[in-house]
């Protein structure tokens, strides 16, 4: 049984084939990088796995279960969490509340408990609040719990989004360009965070343009071009692959 397996995944937008008959597997406990030129279908692949976009054909299997066609929240609860290319935090909630939102699945209290404000609910609320604080601490936002996201610097917003994803206690974390648009300090902070997560044994699939980032964080690389798999291997194998070099031709490595 493989951890995550894509079987002939295809997605069309009108006449455009964004992902074309794509198949690959990722291994548990590893950080896998998904790279490729602009428009090669990396983000679309993430969207298909997380269920945000319906597939045109093909399927995704996660730990032996077919997850294609399930709604995004069901996929999230099965243990696949994600972040977005353009950061999408909840702007009207505090940082702490942002993380708490994703803990909703951990509650045993129902609507009646909420309306009657039972002890059970209070216990769970305080337990989950502590858990959320812990997660903020983990991503380096320990003191920012009461801030509104709009008052946080860009890098912190990204970390907040990662904390929210981690609140689902995922088995697999999908990161769509986690280091995009960051300054040097922010970049180092995110790299460090992902390395720490890798140490805990969390499996990660990430899309990234920054080669330095891929080199330091990633165990295994899958290269896409025009929605198809072009090559696969360790970073150093990929780096020397003539097909990959050709696909990136003219593109300066960052």
Binding part of the chain for another protein, among 29-37, 62-70, 111-119, 192-200 by CB under 8 A, reads: 111-119
Minimum Å gap between C-beta 168 and another protein is 5
What's the DSSP call for residue 177? S
User: Using CB under 8 A, which residues numbered 179 to 198 contact another protein?
Assistant: 181
Residues 6+ apart with CB under 8 A from 125: none
3-state secondary structure of 26: strand
- The three-point CA angle 110-49-132 to 5° equals 40
Tell me the per-residue interface mask from 120 to 139 with another protein, x by CB under 8 A, - otherwise: -x---x--x-----------
Q: Which residue, 102 or 223, has its beta carbon nearer to another protein? A: 102
Minimum Å gap between C-beta 140 and another protein is 14
* Count of other CB atoms within 10 angstroms of residue 216: 13
Write out the H or E segment, with its range, that includes residue 11: strand 4-13
Applying CB under 8 A, among 111, 184, 242, 250 the residue interacting with another protein is: 111
Minimum Å gap between C-beta 121 and another protein is 7
Binding part of the chain for another protein, among 57-65, 135-143, 157-165, 225-233 by CB under 8 A, reads: 157-165
- Contact at 8 Å (CB) between 229 and 24? yes
- Contact at 8 Å (CB) between 138 and 130? no
What tokens appear for 190 in the block? 């995110």
Biggest alpha carbon distance in the chain?
A: 66
Applying CB under 8 A, among 61, 134, 147, 232 the residue interacting with another protein is: 147
In angstroms, the CA 123 to CA 48 distance is: 37
Binding part of the chain for another protein, among 21-29, 99-107, 209-217, 219-227 by CB under 8 A, reads: 99-107
Residues that bind another protein (CB under 8 A): 18, 43-44, 47, 50, 52-54, 71-77, 81-82, 84-94, 97-98, 100-105, 107, 111, 114-115, 117, 121, 125, 128, 146-148, 150-154, 157, 164-165, 167-168, 181
């Amino acid at each position: 049984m493989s951890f995550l397996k894509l079987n002939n995944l295809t997605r069309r937008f009108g006449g455009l084939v964004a992902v074309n008959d794509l198949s690959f597997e990722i291994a548990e406990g590893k950080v896998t990088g998904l790279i490729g030129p602009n428009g090669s279908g990396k983000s679309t692949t993430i969207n298909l796995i997380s269920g945000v976009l319906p597939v045109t054909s093909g399927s995704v299997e996660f730990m032996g279960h077919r997850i294609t066609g399930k709604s995004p929240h069901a996929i999230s609860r099965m243990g696949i969490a994600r972040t977005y290319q353009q950061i999408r935090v909840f702007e009207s909630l505090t940082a702490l509340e942002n993380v708490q939102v994703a803990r909703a699945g951990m509650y045993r209290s129902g609507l009646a408990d909420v309306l009657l404000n039972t002890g059970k609910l209070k216990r769970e609320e305080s337990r989950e609040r502590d858990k959320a604080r812990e997660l903020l601490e983990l991503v380096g936002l320990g003191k920012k719990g009461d801030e509104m996201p709009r008052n946080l610097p860009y890098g912190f917003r990204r970390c907040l989004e990662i904390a929210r994803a981690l609140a689902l206690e995922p088995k697999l974390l999908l990161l769509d360009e986690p280091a995009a648009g960051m300054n040097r300090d922010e970049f180092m902070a995110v790299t460090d965070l992902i390395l720490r997560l890798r140490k805990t044994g969390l499996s990660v699939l990430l899309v990234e343009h920054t080669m330095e980032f891929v080199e330091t964080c990633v165990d295994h690389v899958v290269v896409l071009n025009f929605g198809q798999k072009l090559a696969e291997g360790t970073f150093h194998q990929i780096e020397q692959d003539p097909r990959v070099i050709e696909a990136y031709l003219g593109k300066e490595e960052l």
